[in-house]
């Protein structure tokens, strides 16, 4: 049960963080009126960073069990 709760909230947290990162860089592009970073880099950062964070949290969660 506890493991399921971790995956539910961890996934929601990672999706939310990825969405925030993507919107942050998109708004910087709009404010600057020129690309701060490319769309491909935005997508990579929006996926890679939250995924890495989820893996680290999972490792820490399993070590505390």
User: What does pLDDT average to in each consecutive run of 10 residues of the chain (65 residues)?
Assistant: 89 97 94 91 95 95 84
Task: Give, as one character, the DSSP assignment of residue 33.
Answer: T
* 42 torsion bin: left (phi>0), alpha (psi -120 to 50), beta (else): alpha
pLDDT at 51 (0 to 100):
96
């Amino acid at each position: 049960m506890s493991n399921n709760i971790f995956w539910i909230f961890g996934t929601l947290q990672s999706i939310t963080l990825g969405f925030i990162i993507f919107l942050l860089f998109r708004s910087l592009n709009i404010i600057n009126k020129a690309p701060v970073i490319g769309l491909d880099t935005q997508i990579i950062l929006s996926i890679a960073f939250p995924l890495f964070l989820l893996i680290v949290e999972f490792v820490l969660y399993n070590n505390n069990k």
